[in-house]
């Protein structure tokens, strides 16, 4: 066992007895992609329950607007959620939507890059659907904010 892994194990034992303080998401700006349906929608609803301000991106206008309305009504606050139609497989679309979002809401603090396509095929195709010419996460980093990746807080 290396010194690094011993240190990591020691930290894990300490964390077990002295849990880290839970982060509060109240007021935090959270962007969820693919928020119109499925896992993205459920995550958006959960973040809303803990007081986050939701930015919802989806390719499907009707669905994402429905989620926006549900969150606004449940919180009785118009600024609790803001939806945008965006195809996250296109970096220019991401950049344009991100610029609009920054002007209208602010800087994203938490990114849940959930949008994607689930289908069968080779392992590479499953991990990296052909609609996405590049790694979907790299696309979002490039489109949203080059410094975002470095922040990692
Ligand atoms: N459901 C599962 O069992 C499962 C398992 C493994 C991985 N995943 C992954 O989790 C993610 C969500 O899965 P889900 O089951 O909730 O999917 P879903 O089909 O229920 O919802 C996906 C949402 O993403 C949106 N979307 C699709 N392509 C988009 C694009 N290019 N730009 C913006 N929005 C887009 C859709 O309109 C939809 O609202 C996907 O990336 C999927 O590959 C799901």
Residue 6 has pLDDT above 70, yes or no: yes
Ligand 1 atom at minimum distance from 64 CA:
39
115 lines ligand 1 (CB under 6 A): yes
Q: Quick check: helix, strand or coil at residue 53?
A: strand
pTM of the prediction?
A: 0.81
By the 10 Å C-beta count (0-12 exposed, 13-18 middle, 19+ buried), 43 is classed as middle
User: What is the pLDDT at residue 139?
Assistant: 72
Look at the alpha carbons of 38, 140, 58, 112 in this order and tell me if their dihedral is positive or negative.
Answer: positive
116 lines ligand 1 (CB under 6 A): yes
* 15-30 confidence digits (pLDDT tens): 888 888 888 999 999 9
93 lines ligand 1 (CB under 6 A): no
Please state, rounded to an integer, the average pLDDT across all residues of the chain.
85
Question: Can you point out the beta strands (E) in the chain?
Answer: 29-33, 53-58, 81-85, 110-112
Parse the chain into domains and list their residue ranges: 22-147
Q: Which two tokens stand for residue 17?
A: 């007895």
Please give the CATH number for the structural domain made up of 22-147. Answer: 3.40.50.720
């Amino acid at each position: 066992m290396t010194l690094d892994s011993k240190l990591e194990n020691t930290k894990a034992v300490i964390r077990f007895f002295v849990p880290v303080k839970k982060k509060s998401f109240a007021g935090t700006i959270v962007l969820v992609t693919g928020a119109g349906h499925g896992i993205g929608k459920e995550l958006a609803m959960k973040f809303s329950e803990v007081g986050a301000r939701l930015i919802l991106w989806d390719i499907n206008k009707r669905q994402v607007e429905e989620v926006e309305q549900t969150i606004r009504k449940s919180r009785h606050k118009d600024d609790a959620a803001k939806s945008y139609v965006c195809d996250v497989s296109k970096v220019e679309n991401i950049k344009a939507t991100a610029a609009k979002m920054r002007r209208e809401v602010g800087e994203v603090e938490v990114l849940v890059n959930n949008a994607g396509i689930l289908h069968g095929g080779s392992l590479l195709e499953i991990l990296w659907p052909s609609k996405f010419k590049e790694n979907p996460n790299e696309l979002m980093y490039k489109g949203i904010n080059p410094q975002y990746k470095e922040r990692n807080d």
